[in-house]
Structure 1
């Protein structure tokens, strides 16, 4: 009668299994950390957006940039300004195309004139946002003095406020016109862009407040 055969696991195979398990555990930890970082970033964005006038618009427009923003008030303000500028450029292009069309049944002469004025006003808003965006891009928190930082951020606040006013002016010009498809379409786009600008200004103001809070106290 044949003796029962016994099998032994090679020490080499045991080592391979152990290494594989360790690698899987390490990958799981990395993945969990990534998920946690992403959750922390989106929570940070949502918390800041809740302090704006248009929190839903704020979160939906900025949450996709969570990996870039992380939990940085400076990056949050910078991205918010860039998003506002990008949308404003798209709106301006749309208005400009409408204003350059010959008069037709789509809109009358008065509406065409308002579109032209709105296009010019939006051009000013875009210029102000562009300046703000450039200032935010070149913001160096590691080397600038507190006075220099205050000056830069004061410029951004002024320009973003002016851009918001120009967007308001654009929609106000449609006030006396009869309701029609062109008016409602343009106003809907401009109002959404205005919400982005308002949110961006709020993020800039929150960043300024955070910077002031972290600034070292000066002795008299």
Structure 2
């Protein structure tokens, strides 16, 4: 059953990564014809990122979307979630490949079990981040009041927090594993993913604190 789930998730991840390359956010980042970002828009992203735990990672990853974000905190939070989703997907896809690698997939080994559990946790995190992004895209619909906004943002905060917990559970699962290349590789990659998720959650919290879309 676990093997079937891994194969299915691997297929879905491959399809997502292909689609992500053509997403509006990705297109905005690499459209050579787009005008240069406004200095005020870039500074808005910089000042917003300064409220996160990893401001340099935040600014480097999000400043390229200044034209799309402008000075809209909701759009900034959406883009940050989208970026974190892409990072989580890529890590999950990479780990999925490792589970099929003969060097890492020794049946019954502690490292192999930690690897499979990590992939499962990342799969859950991907689902939760995707749910957050879907909810964020629904915020601001006509006729919604402050109560609806706060309820929706509470959902987003809950899912993003759960995703961060799942990512942390992945790395925690390697604590009892002896030092080895796969442990260092996976923990480094997932620790990097956690930075993007943490930053996205911080920007979500900041947007939620404003009380209205």
What TM-score do the two structures reach when normalised by structure 2? Answer: 0.79
User: What's 2:157 paired with?
Assistant: 157
User: What's 1:69 paired with?
Assistant: 69
Shift >2 Å, 4+ stretches: none
Distance, in Å, in 1 between the alignment partners of 2:62 and 2:166 is: 23
* SS at structure 2 position matched to 1:179: coil
Alpha-carbon RMSD across the aligned residues, in angstroms, is 1.7
Distance, in Å, in 2 between the alignment partners of 1:127 and 1:71 is: 28
* SS at structure 2 position matched to 1:210: coil
- How far does residue 139 in structure 1 lie from its aligned partner after superposition? 1.6
User: What's 1:41 paired with?
Assistant: 41
Describe the superposition over 1:61-109 as per-residue Cα deviations: whole angstroms up to 9, x where unpaired. 111111111000000111001100111000001111111333x3x5752
User: What's 2:205 paired with?
Assistant: 205
- How far does residue 178 in structure 1 lie from its aligned partner after superposition? 1.7
- How far does residue 211 in structure 1 lie from its aligned partner after superposition? 2.5
Structure 1 stretch 179-188 or stretch 147-156: which is displaced more?
Answer: 179-188
- How far does residue 177 in structure 1 lie from its aligned partner after superposition? 1.3
User: What's 2:58 paired with?
Assistant: 58
Q: How many residues are matched?
A: 177
- How far does residue 129 in structure 1 lie from its aligned partner after superposition? 0.4
Gaps of 5+ in 2: 1-34
Gaps of 5+ in 1: 1-33, 215-220
Matched, 1:125 2:119: no
Distance, in Å, in 1 between the alignment partners of 2:197 and 2:77 is: 11
Distance, in Å, in 1 between the alignment partners of 2:136 and 2:97 is: 30
